[in-house]
Structure 1
Amino acid sequence: MFSALKRSRPLVWLLLTLPALWIGLRWAITPGEYGYGHAIADSGDWAAWLLMATLAVTPLRLVFKRSGLTLWLMRRRREIGVASFGYAALHTAIYLVRKGSPEYVLAEFTTPYMLAGWAALALFVPLALTSNDVSVRLMRRGWKRLHRLVYPAAVLTFAHWVWSAFDPTTAWIHIGILAAIEIVRIALQRAQRVM
């Protein structure tokens, strides 16, 4: 199974899509038990988890250079990042359908948690659109510069989570994990430059 997963991009996409299918199926079958609140939370959680997985790839590569899993993650990082954007877009779509009116959306637009969410989504759009081999070839060094926007996008994503959560404890735990990932990445990159 893992060897097939290593080689097959469609299989990777199928696995990345399964949580979205599960969210849709549960909402369709048991709308009373699994409604808007669960769907919006679960889609947001998957967007954040996949974003964290994407950001964890560089520290893992720096620590475990020859690991097969690390090499596989390096090759699939763009797919994981695009899937994170897909779940963020699903999260947004669920919110827009629930509100059902531009007036409601505009009324909430200027609240800090909504501004953070919309700004994060806006930063993710060019990253998702350029996460392909053609863009990497055409943009060359500019591609890496553009994709550094993932860091402010991540900060905005987690700010949105903290400010919008009924109980922000889980969001703060994830922020701690994200901070640890970034501290390790920066420390390892600096150490390798000194060497």
Structure 2
Amino acid sequence: MPLKAIKLTIFWGSLVLSIVLALLHRTPTLGRLSLYLLTLVIFTKPAAQLFPTINIGKVLLAVRRETGQASAFAAFGHVASQLFPGTSLFTILQFGLASGPKGFQFWGFWALVLMTILFLTSNDFSTHLLKRNWFLLHKLIHPLYVFVMIHAGLRKGYFGLIPYVVVLLILYTFRFLAARGVKFLAPPPPQLMI
């Protein structure tokens, strides 16, 4: 399947799936889907650098933008599925802010704000318009990911944060090692015969 077809399938498939799940009020499913896709997006680059011989990393790098957009569709569906007749988006967002940093809704609100910014700038027009600043803007994925992890962890109480902290430690260990040029499963360098 050509790369363009894969990208279109991810984009439109995730949009339709998110709409259907939102209409069915599958809030937890959409939240988990968004988290898993965002995890895939943020782990792709360091994992591809650490494991250069694994070809799936190249494919995932090629569809990283579409995977991020799919994560945003799921996040938007996650919020939309909580809108019942008579409940406005403003009411839900106000509730999220009022919960304060100890409430998972607070972190979900800020994750939604960052996700919206990243989604709106995940296109060729924004890349061309913002140039180098686009890369700086898209570093917002790191606080976004932390906010999403806190949001998901706090749903289970403070001890629920532990597995999410472990995932964050793994991510930033991967990023640290990749920045240092460490490679696993890389072919050995050629030996000189003298």
Q: TM-score range by the shorter chain?
A: 0.7 to 0.9
Tell me by how many angstroms 1:79 deviates: 0.6
Report SS of the residue matched to 1:97.
coil
2:178 counterpart of 1:188: yes
- TM-score normalized by the length of structure 1: 0.76
Note the residue ranges of structure 2 that are not aligned, 5 or more in a row. 183-194
Structure 1 or 2: larger helix share? 1
Aligned to 1:23: 21
Which residue, 48, 63, 71 being the options, matches 1:76? 63
Q: Distance in 2 between matches of 1:175 and 1:19?
A: 29
**Which of the two has higher C-alpha Rg?**
2
Matched residues, number: 177
Note the residue ranges of structure 1 that are not aligned, 5 or more in a row. 28-35
Alignment of 1:111-126 (within 5 A): 111=99, 112=101, 113-126=104-117
User: What CA deviation, in whole Å up to 9, does each residue of 1:30-70 have, x standing for no partner?
Assistant: xxxxxx5xx11111000100000001111122123354321
Aligned to 1:177: 167
Aligned to 2:40: 53
CA RMSD of aligned residues (A): 2.8
Q: Distance in 2 between matches of 1:168 and 1:174?
A: 10
Tell me by how many angstroms 1:137 deviates: 2.2
Change beyond 3 A, Cα 1:131–1:66: farther
Change beyond 3 A, Cα 1:110–1:165: same
Query: Residue type matched to 1:77 in 2?
Result: R
- TM-score normalized by the length of structure 2: 0.77
Confirm or deny: 8 A CA contact 2:30 2:75 kept in the other structure: yes
Q: Percent of counterpart pairs with the same letter?
A: 24
Name which structure has the greater RCO, CA cutoff 8 Å, separation 6+: 2
2:138 counterpart of 1:151: no
Change beyond 3 A, Cα 1:77–1:107: closer
Report SS of the residue matched to 2:37.
helix
Aligned to 1:31: none
User: What CA deviation, in whole Å up to 9, does each residue of 1:53-99 have, x standing for no partner?
Assistant: 00111112212335432111111101111111111111111123277
